[in-house]
Chain A
Amino acid sequence: EAAVTQSPRNKVTVTGGNVTLSCRQTNSHNYMYWYRQDTGHGLRLIHYSYGAGNLQIGDVPDGYKATRTTQEDFFLLLELASPSQTSLYFCASSDHNTEVFFGKGTRLTVV
Chain B
Amino acid sequence: GQQVQQSPASLVLQEGENAELQCNFSSTATQLQWFYQRPGGSLVSLLYNPSGTKHTGRLTSTTVTKERRSSLHISSSQITDSGTYFCAALFNTGNYKYVFGAGTRLKVIA
Spell out A's residues near B (CB within 8 Å). Answer: 31, 33, 35, 41-45, 48, 50, 56, 58-59, 88, 90, 92, 94-102, 104-105, 107
> Is B80 located at the chain interface by the 8 A CB criterion?
no
Spell out B's residues near A (CB within 8 Å). Answer: 30-31, 33, 35, 40, 42-43, 45, 48, 86, 88, 90, 92, 95-103
* Smallest CB separation, A86 vs chain B (Å): 13
Instruction: Flag if B98 contacts A92 (CB, 8 Å).
Output: yes
Contacts of A41 in B (CB 8 A): 102
* Smallest CB separation, B71 vs chain A (Å): 18
**Given A43-B86, A97-B31, A99-B33: A105 and B42 interface contact (C-beta under 8 Å):** yes
Instruction: Flag if B88 contacts A100 (CB, 8 Å).
Output: yes
Known: A92-B98, A97-B31, A100-B88. 19 other contacts (CB 8 A): A31-B97, A33-B97, A33-B98, A35-B100, A42-B86, A42-B101, A42-B102, A42-B103, A43-B86, A45-B97, A50-B95, A94-B98, A95-B96, A96-B90, A96-B92, A99-B33, A100-B98, A102-B35, A105-B42
Contacts of B101 in A (CB 8 A): 42
The secondary-structure label for the interface of chain B is strand
6 A–B pairs (Cβ distance < 8 Å), ordered by A? A42-B101, A45-B98, A50-B95, A96-B96, A98-B31, A100-B31
Instruction: Flag if A90 contacts B43 (CB, 8 Å).
Output: yes
Contacts of A33 in B (CB 8 A): 97-98
Contacts of A94 in B (CB 8 A): 31, 90, 96, 98
